[in-house]
Amino acid sequence: MTSADLLSAGKKRFNRHDLRRLSDAIEFAEIAHQGQFRKSGEPYVMHAYATAQTLLTLGMDIDTVVAGVLHDVPEDTAYTLGDVEKLFGLTVAKLVAGVTKLGKLKYRGLERYVENLRRMFVAMAEDVRVMIIKFADRLHNLSTLGSLPPDKQLRIARESLDIYAPLANRLGMGDIKGQLEDLAFPYVYPQEYAWVTSLLGTRYETLHSVIDVMTSELTSSLAKAKIKPLSIHGRRKHLYSLYEKLLRPEYDRDLSKIWDLVALRVVLKNVNDCYGALGIIHQLWRPVPHRFKDYIAQPKPNGYQSIHTTVFGPGGQPVEIQVRDEVMHQLAEFGVAAHWHYTESGKPVAAAKVEDKLAWVKELADWRQDVTSDEQFLEALKIDALQKRIFCLTPTGDVIDLPELATPIDFAYHVHSELGNHCVGAKINDALVSLDTALKSGDVVEIMTDKNRKVPNHDWLELAKTQTARGHIRKALREAGQEIGSDPTP
């Protein structure tokens, strides 16, 4: 990546004024980092360019891209944050300051990382773009880990798997999550990485040749039907995601049971074209029975939309095909970063859906002041931010986003504090359950209430897994004049 490459990429996205700002930032970064080199031997400024290039790929605004170019200037050069603000404005300076604050502590496991985690969530609550810059910065650092000593390789890779990848996932940035995991995988789990790559052998190459043939056939058939796709491309399953899938009991480490190693992704202008393309796909290739999901008509609980169908491709090879429109694609790939995207027609990506992906960050901003001890904060973050999510349904079909192992108590308080306070029991999928039952994705949860009950049980502080629920319980107990004592950790 050179300055010319970065400016060339910027020309495709920015107007003349913004391009001038990017050019000025590049010139300033080159002066600031002059004579500095990374362990790999390349000029330090190349890292700034790579970070900014990733931000451009994500479709970020000019302030974020400029901040990406300058993110290491105050910490690693003679120039100050004041110099950045004077030359590039307050917004850029704030973004650079936010990134700088996140880089102070060395990762030695979650228990010794609490201070940095606090900073991270404060920064995200103030401006999520700080975290997006940090993701871009981390991606390039991971790609050059080979130049570092083994202890630093492991520390940076472990931090990426434990912290950055889960956060990217919570922000809906699936592709960034996958890249972070794949780059860290060989350093954290070298033997497992070797096993997966040897298991794959030449499978990817074989499947890609099948995808190339199918892409050509589908492009021709869509053209005859006067349907113009925005893109048709193969999507290769991320290695770490494949590794995790192989470990699940239903797959039993058997690669032949996994049919989405490579998928054909078709992105179209609108929903009508999606269904038109689906008909053509099923005319070209016979569908595999029981392998069709219409997540457009019935979105996944996390809001994901796309049509998934598996067909028998050339040579009888099963191939998954994903069909979606442009907005669905932006939201699925880029999550909160899609807020700064515009569709081919110049319309912004649906802002409301992006805001949904940020709701949990705002929740963290609300409760971080209530959690005083490092132990409480860490346990709350492990569950509310870094743990995998499940999606449960109310009896009327509303989706409630919760961490794994959440209980009906968590569900009730996430719906409404009054529902939690009046709770006397719960049903999961029409069956009576105890209030400490762990919920699973897809569960329909009905909370039974008694209007005469106004105060929750003190024991619920131990049953609840989320800080949101425990916060509501503590508040209700305080208002009732009950002694709370120390807050148990889940």
What pairs with residue 234 in β-bridges? 264
pLDDT tens-digit map of 109-154: 666 666 667 777 777 778 889 999 999 999 999 999 998 999 999 9
Structure tokens at 100: 């700088």
CA-to-CA dists, residue 174 to 140, 157, 167, 184, 474, angstroms: 17, 18, 10, 16, 35
Looking at residue 314, the DSSP 8-state letter turns out to be G
Residue 78: phi and psi, rounded to 5, are: -80, -10
Same-domain status, 212 and 167 = no
Largest Cα separation within the chain, whole Å, is: 73
Looking at residue 289, the DSSP 8-state letter turns out to be E
Alpha-carbon distance of 449 to 490, in angstroms, equals 24
Looking at residue 457, the DSSP 8-state letter turns out to be -
Q: Is residue 145 part of a domain?
A: yes
What pairs with residue 320 in β-bridges? 263, 310
Same-domain status, 175 and 231 = no
Q: What does the pLDDT read at residue 107?
A: 67
| Amino acid letter for position 205 | E
Q: Is residue 370 part of a domain?
A: no
Task: Among 160, 186, 212, give the residue marking a domain's end.
Answer: 186
Q: What does the pLDDT read at residue 68?
A: 96
Structure tokens at 346: 């110049």
Same-domain status, 53 and 162 = yes
Same-domain status, 286 and 214 = yes
Same-domain status, 240 and 144 = no
Same-domain status, 233 and 277 = yes
Q: What does the pLDDT read at residue 368?
A: 54
pLDDT tens-digit map of 359-374: 667 666 665 555 556 6
Alpha-carbon distance of 481 to 476, in angstroms, equals 9
Q: Is residue 361 part of a domain?
A: no
Same-domain status, 293 and 429 = no
Same-domain status, 41 and 110 = yes
Same-domain status, 174 and 209 = no
Cβ partners under 8 Å of residue 392, min gap 6 = 301, 399, 400, 402, 406, 411, 439, 440, 441, 442, 443, 444, 445
Domain that holds residue 433: 387-479
Same-domain status, 248 and 316 = yes
Give the pairing of strands 423-428 and 431-433. Answer: antiparallel
Task: Among 141, 156, 186, give the residue marking a domain's end.
Answer: 186
Give the CATH number for residue 291. Answer: 3.30.460.10
Alpha-carbon distance of 161 to 180, in angstroms, equals 7
Alpha helices in 368-466 (DSSP H): 374-384, 408-415, 417-421, 460-463
Same-domain status, 319 and 441 = no
Catalytic choice (5, 75, 459, 479): 75
Annotated catalytic residue 30 = no
- Total number of domains in the chain: 3
Annotated catalytic residue 63 = no
Q: Is residue 57 part of a domain?
A: yes
Q: Is residue 366 part of a domain?
A: no
Q: Is residue 283 part of a domain?
A: yes
CB 44 within 8 A of CB 36: yes
Task: Among 186, 208, 239, give the residue marking a domain's end.
Answer: 186
Same-domain status, 38 and 176 = yes
Q: Is residue 374 part of a domain?
A: no
Give the CATH number for residue 73. Answer: 1.10.3210.10
Q: Is residue 89 part of a domain?
A: yes
Catalytic choice (42, 76, 370, 374): 76
Kindly give the parts of the chain with pLDDT less than 50: 486-490
pTM score, whole prediction: 0.81
426: three-class secondary structure by DSSP: strand
